[in-house]
Structure 1
């Protein structure tokens, strides 16, 4: 399943993270460092699994328990972004 940033979202990198504005809902937020990393990886790869793998390598090394936790957290974050209309999923 592919992911992409919704066309309704205007975003930019700032010194504090990624700032997002959802033009349809008026919601504004700034992602923390980890959320910003996930956002940028999705913007570049368009797939959830490579994002989870990249963060697992960066933060967990070979610790299997930590890898599982990171994968779950990344998928939960992405799911929340989809529910809020910030990311869109497609079957292609």
Structure 2
């Protein structure tokens, strides 16, 4: 699965943060450095599994227990952004072919 940035979200990366404006709600938000890293990976079209792997590599090193925490935190954060309408889910099968219709 991949997330993509909702079309009504305007954003910019600046000084280690990402600033967002949701035209649909009229709200501004600022993501801290870790949130900004995730946002950039989403903006690059990275699938969720690649994002969780990359963040685990950056922040958990070889600690399996910490890796599980990082992976869950990343998934929770991305799901929260999707729940707020900032990200949209694109279901894609692992082979790169579209998943079943919703």
Q: Is the 8 A contact 1:45 1:51 kept in 2?
A: no
Q: Unpaired segments of 5 or more residues in structure 1?
A: none
The ranges of structure 1 where at least 4 consecutive aligned residues each deviate by more than 3 angstroms after the TM superposition are none
Compare CA radii of gyration and give the structure with the larger one.
2
TM superposition shift of 1:46: 3.5
Equivalent runs, 1:63-74 vs 2, <5 Å: 63-74=63-74
May I ask how many residue pairs the two structures share in their alignment? 92
Q: Show CA shifts across 1:33-91 (max 9, x none).
A: 10000000111134111111001001111100110000000000000010001000122
**What TM-score do you get using the length of structure 2 for normalisation?**
0.85
Question: RMSD in angstroms over aligned alpha carbons?
Answer: 1.0
Deviation at 1:16, TM superposition (A): 4.9
Unaligned segments of structure 2, at least 5 residues:
92-97
Instruction: Write the distance in 2 (CA, Å) between the matches of 1:51 and 1:67.
Output: 13
Please tell me whether the aligned partners of residues 9 and 23 of structure 2 are also in contact (alpha carbons under 8 angstroms). Answer: yes
